[in-house]
Amino acid sequence: MDDLNIPKLKKDVEIAFKDGGIIKISRMTLFLNHFSAYHTGEETVLEVLNDKAQFIPAMILNGNQKFAILNVDSIFYVTELDETDSGSDKDDLCIQFITGEKMEFRIHEELPGNRSRAIDFLNTERDFLTFLKDKRKVYINKNKINKVEVL
């Protein structure tokens, strides 16, 4: 059976799901391909989340390690644990999720000059968009957003 396994890179992240009426964060490991289909180098968390797959494999790290298959549509956001460069002059936003919870983020993607407004960014075709919070990349499922205020 091991012959059928494809070697993967492991990426530890925090994944936020709705638990009752609030957002609950779980520490998990995602499995990434060694090579991206879109650029040179490794597959990114954003590529996994925006892939066509409805379900993705993960390892739950809270307490005992357990293998899980996650429904991507149920994810509110994913936070990378590594810090990244925060040098950005992009918009700061207050995002209200469908649970009513509000959090502040900064847009962390390069936007074309003629499409650089927050509304243009939010209206892209992808479900997950890259933001920055406390120097860490956060990939937010825009289908879980109720309202956005530009700060």
Residue 49 binned pLDDT confidence (cut-offs 50, 70, 90) = very high
Q: In what order do the strands lie in the sheet with 66-71?
A: 66-71, 55-60, 22-32, 9-19, 75-83, 136-141, 128-133, 102-107, 92-97, 145-150
For residue 134, pLDDT beyond 50: yes
Q: pLDDT tens for residues 81-110? A: 999 876 667 889 999 999 999 999 999 887
Rounded distance between C-alpha atoms, residue 46 and residue 140, angstroms: 10
Phi-psi region of 63 (alpha: psi -120 to 50; beta: other; left: phi over 0): left
Structure tokens given for 120 = 């243009």
The answer to whether 111 touches 141, Cβ cutoff 8 Å, is: no
CB atoms within 10 A of CB 82: 10
For residue 120, pLDDT beyond 50: yes
Residue 111 binned pLDDT confidence (cut-offs 50, 70, 90) = confident
Amino acid 86: pLDDT: 67
All domains in the chain, ordered by first residue: 2-81 (2.30.30), 82-150 (2.30.30)
Question: What secondary structure letter does DSSP report for 45?
Answer: H
Of 13, 56, 55, 54, the residue nearest 33 (C-alpha):
56
For residue 3, pLDDT beyond 70: no
Amino acid 88: pLDDT: 64
Amino acid 106: pLDDT: 92
How open is the CA angle 49-124-108, to the nearest 5 degrees?
70
